[in-house]
Amino acid sequence: EVQVVESGGGLVQAGGSLRLSCAASGFTSDDYGIGWLRQAPGKEIEIVSCISRSDDVTYYADSVKGRFTISSDNAKNTVYLQMNSLKPEDTAVYYCAASDWIIIGSMCGGNFASRGQGTQVTVSS
C-alpha cells in the first residue's frame, strides 16, 4: 500500500520561506510521480508542482514558478517543496499525493490516488 506523509507547514510572513517534506513508501517500482496540491478556503484544489521519480522531470503551476522548487531525495524516498517569496495567496492546505503514473508537460497529469493528511501553510501580510 502506497503511503505519503507530509510535514513542514506553518505560519510565515509574506516574503518568507518554508520547506515541505513528503515521505513516500510502498511503491513497487520507480515509475511513479509525486505531486504537491493545495486547496485554499472556498477554492478548488490545484496542482502546484509535481516530479517524476524515474527521470526527475518537474512541473510548476504559473502561480509558483520562480518561487517554489520541488526536489527528490531518492535514497530517502522523500520529496521536498521549497517555497520562497511566499505571498498571502499561497495560504492553503498543502497535500502531498502519489501517482502510479505521471505525465509532465505543459501540465501535470496523474491519478494522485494516495494523498496525505495535508499540512497548513499560512502566509500573513
Q: If you average pLDDT over residues 82-104, what whole number do you get?
A: 95
pLDDT per residue over 20-63, tens digit each? 999 998 887 777 899 999 999 999 999 999 999 888 999 999 99
- Judge whether 6 and 116 are in contact, CB under 8 Å: yes
Task: Report the amino acid identity of residue 105.
Answer: G
Distances in whole angstroms, Cα of residue 83 to Cα of each of 8, 19, 110: 11, 6, 22
Mean pLDDT of 2-9: 93
Distances (CA, A) of 90 to 55, 65, 74: 28, 12, 27
The whole-angstrom separation of Cα 21 and Cα 78 is 7
Three-state DSSP at 121 gives strand
Query: Of 57, 31, 58, whose CA–CA distance to 47 is shortest?
Result: 58
Sequence-ordered alpha helix ranges (H) in 42-124: none
Interatomic CA distance for residues 120 and 115, integer angstroms = 15
User: How much is the average pLDDT of 93-121?
Assistant: 93
pLDDT > 90? residue 14: yes
